[in-house]
Amino acid sequence: MPVRRYTSVAVLLHWLVAGLIVVNVLLAWSSDSLPKPEVHSVMNIHKSIGLTVLGLALLRLLWRIGHRPPAYPPSYQRWERWLSHGVHGLLYLVMFGLPLTGYFMDSAHTGKEYHPIIWFGLFEFPHLPLIMHLAPEMKDQVHEFFEAAHGLSADALYALLFLHVAGALKHQFLDRQKEVQRMWLG
């Protein structure tokens, strides 16, 4: 039986977003161990990648709406299909939630210096004026709220990525289905 594959565009967007998310997680984890002057540069790359992931996630969602994914093999249990749909749906929420909470948090930053987001060193990405013009004490509250939401979203990402990869590997190696080939490059 031939492998029912995702479209080439879906595969490209999947791996591009996945790679950028992994790089962004590594940048976030490494930022605490860097000297103060380097943190701003690393975090600007982190923010640039986050905004890029947001745009690519929107493209992924639009592509998925217009291009139905291949059906699961008939051998998959109902609970496996349900869990897969749930994990995918939550991953989409996180792909939107992480960049948005980070962007809102950054827009509410009240540090000594103004740190604009320079998207990959090319142009300044504007902060949200609605948040930037809040009273300082309100900005601090907004910053704290979105900082907490960003952290919770990151924790959700780790759990969902684990479930996503574990499910694919379970189907590939334990169930002997060609699951990985459905989303592999080439």
Length of the chain: 186
Closest CA to 41 of 115, 100, 150: 115
Closest CA to 182 of 78, 88, 56, 95: 88
pLDDT digits (tens, 9 = 90+) for 71-90: 998 889 999 999 999 999 99
Give the three-class secondary structure for 109.
coil
Query: How far is it, in rounded angstroms, from Cα 161 to Cα 151?
Result: 15
Q: Where are the domains of the chain?
A: 8-182
pTM of the full structure:
0.92
Query: How far is it, in rounded angstroms, from Cα 11 to Cα 64?
Result: 11
Mean pLDDT by 10 residues, the chain (186 residues): 84 98 96 88 96 98 95 92 97 98 93 78 94 92 97 98 96 91 88
Instruction: Give the list of residues 6+ apart from residue 94 with CB closer than 8 angstroms, or none.
Output: 153, 156, 157, 160
pLDDT digits (tens, 9 = 90+) for 159-176: 999 999 999 999 999 999
For the 8-182 domain, the top CATH level (class) is mainly alpha
Q: What is the pLDDT of residue 3?
A: 65
